Structures are given as structure tokens and as C-alpha cells.
Amino acid sequence: MRHFIDLSEWSSDELRHLIDLAVQLKQEWKSGGNPPILAGKALAMVFQKPSLRTRVSFEMCMQHLGGHALMIGPDEIGLGKRESIADVARVLSRYVQGIMARVFAHDHVVQLAVHASVPVINGLSDDQHPCQAMADLLTIYEHYGRTEGLRVVYVGDGNNVAASLGQVAAHFGMSFATATPPGFELSEAMLSPIRALASQHGGAVETFHDPLEAVRGADVIYTDTWVSMGQEVDAARKIEALRPYQVNAQLLANVGKPAIVMHCLPAHRGLELTDDVADGPQSVIFDQAENRLHAQKAILVHLMA
């Protein structure tokens, strides 16, 4: 049984195939619609955290492909509380043909996959956001017409989105850099396989503390919230430390080329990025949001058709 939980479990060729499929499904959708490839199939969407894009895009993916999506909110099944994660996985597997889950502990989505007999998709965990990274890759590819040799710089908190972005960059021959305050870096456990994969594909991985130095020569500047879901108790400390890492006009002026600006959203305008940048000509943030639809259709078709 194949799952989509962590991009390190997929080969670069497989991910390339998924992106090709996403491009094809997007073209098809734009020129009249997709055939009902998932007719008669249902996806359970388990959410332990709030969501706009993940929830709506997955539901629309299933609808466009002739299938059905079922929303299960945080108060409904009590994942691991009312019932064990293993039993939730076993029961859902008798009703639906796929499970997408947004969880806190990464191990919870792993445990769902261990005990499910249908494919499980990670719709964000505390450690990773692989579906976002695939939509981001599609967005970068559409903008530049290639990925090899591009330089992607992630500015801000070394979080789940940064981790999956680094993985996808390495798979697709891009160089990846982070600019974080000391103590906010991606873990070495996360970075070292990314480094190994990047070097196989001709990319490099660098870590900086100085954002102005990091962004020089970037093709892509990426940022995300300074306070991820579940970290609210630590918000004041994180915001204070991350203030010098705002993506604003001054930072963009330091790049030396017209990099695109990316953010997975939701954005906290005035914190991690300014309004003028979010709404400016270099921003592709809403293309990224749209591409969730197309990238996830490819994942669903690959796993469930």
C-alpha cells in the first residue's frame, strides 16, 4: 500500500511523474473538465487543526474527479482519544478508499498509514507539509519552465513547510537555503538527507542567519507564518526573534534579480511579509493556493485510481 506522507519516501522520478500528471490534469480541467477517474471512490478528510486550502482543495479535487470527500473535524472522532489511531484507521478503511489527515504529531499520520488498508495522505503534520510542497514545485516550474539550477531561499521559522520545501527542492535539482534566527533552523536530522539528495541532483544546501546575505541571487523567496498551529503559547518569543526576517521591499531589493515570492498561506500580513510584497508583481501566493488543486489531483489519481 502506497502512502503520501513524507517526500523522502518517494523517488525523484516518481515525483516528476506526479508533476507531469498534475500539469496534464490542470490543462484538462481548464479546457472543460477532468474525466470521472475516481467515480465511486471516497476520501475521508481527518482534521485535527483548522484549514481553508487543504480542506476545500481536497474536497474539490474529489468532486472534479467524480468521487466524494467526507470532512471529519477535530471534535468528531477524537483521534487517539475517543478511539485509538489504529482502530480509526481500520474502521475508515472499511468505508473509504483513501484517507487524508492533518495532525499535530507527525507520528499520528504515520500510525494511520501503518494500520490503514487504504492510502493515507499527509495534509500537514507538525513536521511536514508534502502536498503544499508539490503545489509549490508546480508553481515554480510554471513560472520558470524548469527547476534545475534555481536557488530557493526560505526566510523565517524552520518549520514543516520549510522541511517539505527543502525536500522537493532537492528532488528537483534546485539549491535550497534557509535564513532563520539561531535556534530556529531546520533540525540536522531533517537537513542531512536533504543535503545528500540535493548533491545527487546537482543542488546545494546552505543555512544562514543573515537574511540579506541568504537571499542574494535567489530565484524564489519563500516565507511562512512565524507561529505555526499548535505553537501559540510560544508566540511572543517567536515573533520577537523573527522580526528581522520579514519579507519586505528592502529584502527583495537585496536579491539582485526579480525573484518570485511564495507563501503557503494563511499569511500574517505585516509580520512575515508586507502587504506591498504579498500583493506585488513578484508574488505568486494565489497561484500556489490554486495549484494545491492540481498537484493533489495527481496524488489522488496516482494513489486511488
CB 207 within 8 A of CB 234: no
Q: Residues 128, 159, 180, 288: which binds ligand NVA (CB under 6 A)? A: 159
**Choosing from 224, 246, 263, 296, which is the catalytic residue?**
224
Q: What is the DSSP string of 114-180?
A: HH-SS-EEES--SS--HHHHHHHHHHHHHHHS--TT-EEEEES---HHHHHHHHHHHHTT-EEEEE-
- Give the number of other Cβ atoms within 10 Å of residue 127's Cβ: 21
Q: Residues 124, 215, 255, 299: which binds ligand CP (CB under 6 A)? A: 124
- Give the number of other Cβ atoms within 10 Å of residue 276's Cβ: 12
- Give the number of other Cβ atoms within 10 Å of residue 283's Cβ: 20
Question: Binding string to ligand CP for residues 51 to 70, with x set by CB under 6 A, is what?
Answer: xxxx----------------
Phi/psi for 163 (5° steps) reads -65, -50
Write down the least CB distance from residue 124 to ligand CP, Å.
Answer: 6
Q: Is 163 among the residues that bind ligand NVA (CB under 6 A)?
A: no
Kindly identify the residues of this chain, within the stretch 105-124, that bind ligand NVA according to CB under 6 A.
124
**How far is residue 67 CA from its own chain's centroid?**
23
Q: Residues 132, 159, 223, 283: which binds ligand CP (CB under 6 A)? A: 132
HSE-up (13 A, CA, CB side) for residue 161: 22
Q: Is 43 among the residues that bind ligand CP (CB under 6 A)?
A: no
**Among the residue ranges 91-99, 142-150, 224-232, 240-248, the one whose residues contact ligand NVA (CB under 6 A):** 224-232
Write down the least CB distance from residue 76 to ligand NVA, Å.
Answer: 21
Site for ligand CP, rule CB under 6 A: 51-54, 124, 132, 264-266
Binding site for ligand NVA (CB under 6 A): 124, 159-161, 224-225, 228-229, 264
